[in-house]
Structure 1
Amino acid sequence: MLNSDELRLFLAVMREGNMLAAARRVGVDHSTVARRLTNMEATLGARLFDRSPRGVTPTPAAFALVPHAERIESELLAALGSVAGRDREVEGTVRLATPEAFASHLIAPRVAELREQHPRLTLELASESKAASLSRREAEIAVMLKPPPKGRFVTRKLADYRLGLYASKDYLERAGTPGGRADLSRHVFVSYIEELAGFAEMIALDQLLPGAAIVFRASSSAAQHAAVAAGMGMGVLHVFAAAEDERLVQIFPESMEVWRSYWLVMHADLQRLPRVRAAADFLDEVMRGVRERL
């Protein structure tokens, strides 16, 4: 019969895509993962992964096993959460998936405080443009630009924030400062690669200036910020990040801003685990300190 440790390792390999990353995720060595998977296959009488020098490839049997393994995982986590006392020491690893600007400008500068509060808690900060799948346990907590449409999630709004149109001082000296909105048609712009944006809410240039002449696209908000600061063109940037950059000037702040929202999302089965609760409380604390500049 399969045990919970074997199922946990199996799901880690499915989510991470290879045994080495799965071993790091679970906290064991590579040989343990390989041995446990071999034991699972012997118990099931079915091959779960095709091995090759380039890694492992899930078989149809592996994909068929995933929903059953995830159901067992969810039930075990729910059981742990129901008995976890609030006075239990916070320890372990929590992966937090957030948009890039949120991670680099709001969370990373404050993580030392979380370490001081909970020295046995390890935070993994995954800053990506795409939305993490909480259902597949790619993260314990996610910060999203809109709440998920369905699923067993706990969701609450963290904060509203602004996106504004910016240009570098060097660019404006070279291309001229627009005197009115109509002058923007003579300028060039930086924006997202639309098909790589995890949320439609990331793309605000079309809302502010439909048909703008885009000369540079990037999937990274940091790369766009750097390109705008280097004089590549104008771009829509996070106000909380751009306001700290002396190279940048905001263009028509009264009329060229849009509002977006950050949402905290957790799987319902995980919300009562002390380590997850501590990380969520930390996010709330960070937001209380920065809301006025968002």
Structure 2
Amino acid sequence: MATIGVGAHISFVGMPMLNSADLQLFLAILREGNMVAAGRRADMDHSTVARRLTALEAILGARLFDRSPRGVTPTPAAFALQPHAERIESELMAAAASVAVQDSAVEGFVRLATTEMFGTYLIAPHVTQLHARHPGLTLELATESRSNSLAKREADIAVMLTMPPKGRLVARKLTDYRLGLYASHDYIERHGMPGTQAELTHHRFISYIEELAGFPEMIALDQIMPGATIAFRSSSAAAQQAAVAAGMGIGMLHIFAAGQDPRLVRLLADDVEVWRSYWLVMPSDLQRLPRVRATVDFLDEVIGMMRGRL
């Protein structure tokens, strides 16, 4: 029976062959942090997950996780196994992609992880076009601000606000976009229209909860008004826009969304504008899959249509 320690390798001599499905289940447990969530991902109940994990540990002769009521904690053996399991996972996906390339049918599921505003205002309104072109393809839109979806294999494609860390990923700039200052008509009637940046010091603002912002690039207000009086914070950009529209204060909002909201008025348009970029990122072993290529083509088309508003 083989054992695994930090930096050690798995030996297959004199032991049953490892099952790739069990290794994928191991990765799901590692990424989710508990067996219930891993079971949901693998479409199996908790008892089956626990039984298969126990069997895998018996094959390896090593405990992979310490169990507790709060979940599971990886052991040094789990961290030693992780890179081997991830390489096998990547090879399996690459093999599937290589075979799929031979078939031009675009079908299956693609999970796209995006920031909230990109997904809500740019992708969702146009998704019917993708469905009309590829009725066998289901797009799963996960709007979030975290940057680790691809590393944890929670998404096939991600739209990020910054270049990804080094890894087995391919990335390119998708587009630039702009943010500007907005207030509601009601707020301006009550507090007046600021005519210069200096006059902004007399106003209250809306911004992000800084520690919950997934990307530092989300927080653009500090670039314009460091030390501004903040009356409301939210981790949701859409909630910030709603609060601005309700007259709570002035907000630094996405022009492609706020510019279409009749409740809002843009302030100091000639003086205040912040530019940011969206980056298209995906694992290198998925980029040739027909369903992924079709989704990327769709994203490029949407950006082309919306470029004037961005």
Please confirm whether the aligned pair reaches a TM-score higher than 0.5, indicating the same fold: yes
Which moved further from structure 2: 82-91 or 217-226? 82-91
Matched, 1:24 2:40: yes
Deviation at 1:13, TM superposition (A): 2.1
CA distance in 2, matches of 1:167, 1:35: 57
CA distance in 1, matches of 2:49, 2:213: 34
Equivalent position to 1:196, from 212, 236, 240: 212
Residue matched to 1:185:
201
CA distance in 1, matches of 2:20, 2:132: 32
* Contact map agreement 2:195 2:268 (CA 8 A) in 1: no
Per the alignment, do residues 90 and 36 of structure 1 end up closer, same or farther by CA in structure 2, a change over 3 Å counting?
Answer: farther
Deviation at 1:252, TM superposition (A): 0.9
Unaligned runs of 5+ in 1: none
Equivalent position to 2:80, from 40, 64, 75: 64
Equivalent position to 1:12, from 9, 25, 28: 28
Equivalent position to 1:108, from 124, 128, 131: 124
Greater radius of gyration (CA): 2
Residue matched to 2:261:
245
Residue matched to 1:77:
93
Per the alignment, do residues 59 and 117 of structure 1 end up closer, same or farther by CA in structure 2, a change over 3 Å counting?
Answer: farther
* Contact map agreement 2:150 2:157 (CA 8 A) in 1: yes
Which amino acid is 1:279 matched to? Answer: T
Unaligned runs of 5+ in 2: 1-16
CA distance in 2, matches of 1:246, 1:86: 49
* Contact map agreement 1:17 1:56 (CA 8 A) in 2: yes
CA distance in 1, matches of 2:34, 2:65: 10
Residue matched to 2:232:
216
Partner SS for 1:292 = coil
Deviation at 1:104, TM superposition (A): 0.9
CA distance in 2, matches of 1:119, 1:9: 30
Equivalent position to 1:93, from 103, 109, 125: 109
CA distance in 1, matches of 2:305, 2:43: 34
Which amino acid is 1:9 matched to? Answer: L
CA distance in 2, matches of 1:135, 1:153: 9
Equivalent position to 2:275, from 252, 259, 265: 259
Partner SS for 1:211 = coil
TM-score relative to the length of structure 1: 0.91
Q: 1:91-115 deviations in whole A, cap 9, x for unaligned?
A: 3322211111001111122223323
Which moved further from structure 2: 60-69 or 25-34? 25-34
CA distance in 2, matches of 1:32, 1:10: 13
Deviation at 1:32, TM superposition (A): 4.0
Deviation at 1:181, TM superposition (A): 2.1
Give the count of matched residue pairs. 294
Describe how 1:37-48 pairs up with structure 2 within 5 A. 37-48=53-64
Residue matched to 2:298:
282
CA distance in 2, matches of 1:147, 1:86: 31
CA distance in 2, matches of 1:117, 1:54: 45
* Contact map agreement 2:113 2:149 (CA 8 A) in 1: no
Per the alignment, do residues 273 and 180 of structure 1 end up closer, same or farther by CA in structure 2, a change over 3 Å counting?
Answer: same
Describe how 1:112-127 pairs up with structure 2 within 5 A. 112-127=128-143
- Aligned residues: CA RMSD: 2.0
Moved over 6 A (4+): none
Per the alignment, do residues 90 and 49 of structure 1 end up closer, same or farther by CA in structure 2, a change over 3 Å counting?
Answer: farther
Q: 1:17-72 deviations in whole A, cap 9, x for unaligned?
A: 33333333334454543332232122112222344455444333223321211111
Matched, 1:230 2:249: no
Which amino acid is 1:110 matched to? Answer: H
Partner SS for 1:172 = helix
* Contact map agreement 1:86 1:274 (CA 8 A) in 2: no
